[in-house]
Every structure is written in C-alpha cells, then in structure tokens.
Amino acid sequence: MTRSFPALLTVLLLALAPTLQAGAPPAPPKGLAPKGSCAVCGMHVPNFPNWAAVVTFQDGGQAWFDGPKDLFTYLQDLKRYAPKRRAQDIATIQVKNYYTLKHIDARKAFFVLGSDVMGPMGKELVPFATEPQAQDFLKDHRGQKILPFQEITQATIKGLE
Amino acid sequence: MRPSLQRHRSVLDFALSSLLRRKGRNLALTAVYTLVVFVLASLVFFVQALKHEAGELLEHAPDMVVQRMVAGRHDPMPASQVDAIREIRGVEEAEARLWGYYYDPVYGGNLTVMASPDPTLLPGSARIGRGVARNMRVAEGDMVPLRGYDGLPLLFTIQQVLAEESELVASDLVLLTPADVRTLFHLPEGLATDLAVKAGNPRELATIAAKIVEKFPDARPILKAEMLRTYEAAFDWRGGLMVVVLSSAILSFIIFAWDKATGLSAEERKEIGILKSIGWESGDVLLLKFWEGAVVSLAAFLGGVLLAYGHVFFFSATLFEHALKGWSVLFPRFRLIPALDAYQLTVLFFLTVLPYTAATLVPCWRAAMADPDSAMRS
C-alpha cells in the first residue's frame, strides 16, 4: 500500500478539477406558488412546479397535486381523500398549461393521453387551454387521444397506471 | 477536565514541543505543504467561481439562439423568420438580434457591438462597458470614433458607462441603436445576426428546435443547456490543463513529504524506544505521531486555503489569470464573487490532510511495535 500511495494521490488530484460541477438552478414557478404535499400520493408538490394542479374550495382551503392524474383521482373519489368536502364546495380547479406553464381553468382544459411526455408519476394527462394546442401536442408527441375535462372517467385514469 | 481529554492535551503538548525541537525541518515541510494546498485550492476556487459566474451570465441568456449557416459558417439571417418561429407552438417570445464584433486597431481590443432596443438610447450615442471605457480612456459625455465598414470614422457620444456589477458580462460591450449598428457594419435592413427564442416550457425546446430546422433547413438552433455545458467543459478543461501542468510540482511535493514523513530517522526510532521503555504504550506513541502529523497538515491546510481565498477573491487569481481566463484582449477587471461550498473544501481536505496523517502513522506503528531495547540499541 505504501508504494502505490503517491501514484494514487496523483490520480485523485488529476481527477479533482472535473468533479466540481455547478448544478443549474431550477426554473422559478409561474403563477400560483405550489406548496405542501400532494393530497393523493403525498409527493412534495414544489418539486414539480411545471405540473402542479390545485383545487380551491369556497372557504379558501386548497388541495395541491403533483400532476393532473392525481387531481382526477382526487376529484373522482372525494369521499376517500377529503371526507369533509363535497363537490359543491369546489370553487376553482386549476392545472398548468403544458405550453405556457401557467395555471388555467381545468374545467375548460383539454387533456392529451398517451403521449411520450412523462409527468412526475409516469404517464400523465397533459393539459392545454385550447383544442388546437392539444392537437399540435398530440402530433408532436405521439399522443393518442384528446379529452375535455368532463370526459375523463375513472377508467381513463386506470388506463394510465 | 475529563481524563481522556487531559491525556490528549498532554500528548498534544508533547507533540508540539517535539515539533519545535526539529524546527527547521518541520517549518520547511509546512511551508512546502502550504504552498501545494494553496495552489490546489486556488485552482479549485477559481474554476468554481468562474463556473458560477458563467452560470449567472447564462441565466439571462435566451433559451435558444437560432443562427443561419451558409457554407458551414454563421451568416446574417432574414429578420422575417422571427414571425414564422413565433408561430411555432410552445414559443413564448422570439426576437431578432443585431450584433457583431469590432476590432479596435488603436487600442487593440475586441469589442462586442450590440443593438439595443431601448428607446432612451439616442441615435449617435452609445452605452459602453467598463472595460471599453478603461481601454479607450473615456468617460460619459466623451466622443468615441468607430471605423465603419468603408473605413470612414463614425462618432458616438457616450451616454452611459454600464454598471460595475455586469463587468464580466458587459466589459467589452458597446450598445448602439439598431440603425447605427446597421450603418457601422453595413448590414442591410431586414437582416439580423441571430434570433433569440424563449419557450414557455423549457421541455419543449428540443421539439421547437426540430421544427425550426424543418422550416428553415439552413438554421442552426443552439440551446442554452448546450451553451452551459460548453462553458463548463471549457472551464473544466482549463482547470484540468493547469492540474497537469502543476502535477510535476505536486508530485515532487508528494515525494518530499513522503520521504520526510515516513522515513523515521535513527534518532526518532531511539526516541520511540525511550518513550516505550519509560512506560508509554504503543497507543500513546501512535497518538503522539498522529498529533504531530495533524498539527503540520492542519496548519498547512488552513494556511493554504486562506491564502488561496485571498489570492482568488481579493487579487482575482493573478498567478494563473492568463492560463485560465483569457477570452479576449480586453480583460474584464472583475472581482470574483466568493462561491465556496463545503464539498470542495472536503475534497481538498481529504486529498491533502488525510493522506499525510495516514502516511506518518504507518512507519510509527511499525517502530512502536518494535522492542524498545533493540530500538534504543540500533
């Protein structure tokens, strides 16, 4: 060990310079600042600012999600995830438009299924403000289907798992 | 005081006086050791600070720059392409930029001349970086002649010298109105140097780039991430080059330290023998040697790191400035912003202090294991 030591140290020294990497800072969130953990899966929402979806209740309470998939899971089984809330209490539902990363009204949004863009939890429903946007995305990213908010059912979510 | 702590204190005390007994040797060793730590730490700090600075610089850079290639070289492009690019899904903003390099034959510097869309910049006036002002020895209100494409001088009044914070980015910058830039470089109306594109979702950049190439086959999109990687690679490369250059010096130190630290003299062997015969245990002897090594290497490490910090952040790394910086004749005279992290310091520590301390222990362990009688006799 004693003889190989200087050589070893030199190798370490030569390796020194490239090991120091500066990480790129994460993109600042746009619009409503995501906070807390996902109401369905428990993941830390601020880690996924580009997907963060939010339900705001009439009393000002909020539920955040790390992606539209968990948002729909929540909405379709409100009894399980928020026993004290009713569907009528919901004031707004917002998702991030994929192209602008700004919050849009989920109830008027179009979602693309089966594309090659993955969300924080794998396959995602990628939200868009308008149908032409969704169509362009479908073409670019080999999506399969465009669905408006109202047509997304439990079966659709099941198909993403 | 707890007995174990008391023991350490006494041993440390003995170690210090034993180091002082061989003052010359240990001082020389510490000095050379400090020098090596200093050089290595300077290098690490400097490369890190430059990368940090480049990162900051690129933070405000556009997500993507589109250039037009003609015969494999960058060529001015029709500014109207901006409209077509803006229509691509996912593009938030696209603008045509107008800029160029200007070699100043009088002061021997390369300037970056850029068109500024700012309406407060008047025709015939300029905003210049600190480096330009220093080089040309001009201040706000002075007139600066720039040689046009046809050899005729164009006079510009300096409206403003840019703030100091932007020194690294804007040291060699000259901002003119778009019309003045066109006159200076003889760029026809409707042509731009390149296009800056901003995407709403950075994830779409690759798709946007592919669509741009599809639309304009002669376009070359350059992503910000690529630029960042290039910078990092360039600094790493320069840093690596310096390590290679310095490696002979470092190697000779290692041999020197190795020799000094491991080669126990007959005198030291005898000393260990005496210590053991008066009742010291092998553990005590090892502790003593550990403290001796730790004192030398810690002193050298702290001294070297402090010196390097001063060298890099107060004197802008004067010693290897030219090898590491150098992107133009107009050196920005900037003070690097201290960008240290615990990781770098730990790496340095493990590369310098730990091996030395370990190296001193092995031969001592051997000597301490030997029979005190034979050690004193030899």
DSSP string, B68-127: EEETTEEE-EETTHHHHHHTSTTEEEEEEE-EEEEEETTTTEEEEEEE---TTSPTTEEE
Domain that holds residue A108: 36-158
Domain annotation covers residue A147: yes
Residue A22 — very low, low, confident or very high, per pLDDT cuts 50/70/90? very low
Tell me whether residues A2 and B262 touch, CB distance under 8 A.
yes
Residue B198: list chain A partners with CB under 8 A: none
Domain annotation covers residue A30: no
Average pLDDT of A149-155? 89
Structure tokens that stand for A60 in this block? 């000002």
Closest in B211, B242, B347 to A19, CB measured: B347
Which pLDDT belongs to residue B236?
80
Which residue has 């001349």 as its token pair? B113
Tell me whether residues A14 and B243 touch, CB distance under 8 A.
yes
Contact A52, A34 (CB under 8 A): yes
d(CA B129, CA B220): 29
Average pLDDT of B57-72? 86
Sign of CA dihedral B133, B135, B137, B143: negative
Looking at the complex, report in whole angstroms how far the Cα of residue B199 sits from the nearest Cα belonging to chain A: 8
- Number of separate domains in chain A: 1
pLDDT higher at B143 or B257: B143
Average pLDDT of B97-121? 86
With 50 as the cut, is the pLDDT of residue B16 above it? yes
Average pLDDT of A61-65? 90
**pTM score of the predicted model:** 0.66
The segment with the largest mean pLDDT, out of B57-66, B313-322, B362-371, is B57-66
Which pLDDT belongs to residue A130?
93
Domain annotation covers residue A1: no
Measured CA to CA in angstroms, residue B248 lies from A108, A117, B4, B36, B254 at distances of 68, 51, 43, 11, 10
d(CA B200, CA A31): 13
Residue A141: list chain B partners with CB under 8 A: 207
Q: Which of A97, A99, A130, A137 is the best substitution to test chain B (most B C-beta atoms within 10 A)?
A: A99
pLDDT tens readout for residues B275-317: 888 888 888 888 888 888 888 888 999 999 999 998 888 887 7
With 50 as the cut, is the pLDDT of residue A46 above it? yes
Looking at the complex, report in whole angstroms how far the Cα of residue A10 sits from the nearest Cα belonging to chain B: 7
Looking at the complex, report in whole angstroms how far the Cα of residue B30 sits from the nearest Cα belonging to chain A: 18
d(CA B224, CA B58): 7
- Burial string for A25-63 (b: 16+ CB within 10 Å, else e) reads eeeebbbbebeeebbbeebebeebbbbbbbbbbeeeeeb
Alpha helices of chain A — where are they, by DSSP H?
5-14, 68-76, 78-81, 131-140, 154-158
Domain annotation covers residue A28: no
Q: Which of A3-12, A86-95, B103-112 has the lowest mean pLDDT?
A: A3-12
Residue B247: list chain A partners with CB under 8 A: 10, 13-14
Residue B43: list chain A partners with CB under 8 A: 17
Q: Does the structural domain B63-222 have CATH classification 2.40.40.20?
A: yes
Looking at the complex, report in whole angstroms how far the Cα of residue A145 sits from the nearest Cα belonging to chain B: 18
CB distance from A99 to chain B under 8 Å?
yes
DSSP 3-state assignment of A65? strand
Residue B182 — very low, low, confident or very high, per pLDDT cuts 50/70/90? very high
d(CA B242, CA A19): 15
Which pLDDT belongs to residue B326?
53
With 60 as the cut, is the pLDDT of residue B58 above it? yes
Among the listed residues B336, B340, B331, the one whose alpha carbon sits nearest the alpha carbon of residue B313: B336
**How much of chain A exceeds pLDDT 70, in percent?**
80
**Per-domain residue ranges for chain B?**
3-58+229-377, 63-222
Closest in B43, B55, B59 to A17, CB measured: B43
Average pLDDT of B110-132? 88
Which pLDDT belongs to residue B192?
92
Would you call B13 exposed, middle or buried from its count of C-beta atoms within 10 A (0-12, 13-18, 19+)? Answer: exposed
Which residue has 């240990």 as its token pair? B26
d(CA A39, CA A51): 14
With 60 as the cut, is the pLDDT of residue A25 above it? no
Tell me whether residues B239 and A100 touch, CB distance under 8 A.
no
Sign of CA dihedral B12, B14, B20, B22: negative
d(CA A29, CA A52): 10
Residue B361 — very low, low, confident or very high, per pLDDT cuts 50/70/90? confident
d(CA B175, CA B299): 50
Residue type, A56: T
Residue A65 — very low, low, confident or very high, per pLDDT cuts 50/70/90? very high
Alpha helices of A44-117 — where are they, by DSSP H?
68-76, 78-81
With 60 as the cut, is the pLDDT of residue A11 above it? no
Tell me whether residues A24 and B228 touch, CB distance under 8 A.
yes
Which pLDDT belongs to residue B177?
93
- Give the DSSP H/E element, type plus range, for residue B250: helix B224-262
pLDDT higher at B80 or B167: B80
- Give the DSSP H/E element, type plus range, for residue B323: helix B321-324
Q: Which residues, including other chains, have CB under 8 Å from residue A18's CB and lie 6 or more apart?
A: B236, B239, B240
d(CA B336, CA B57): 13
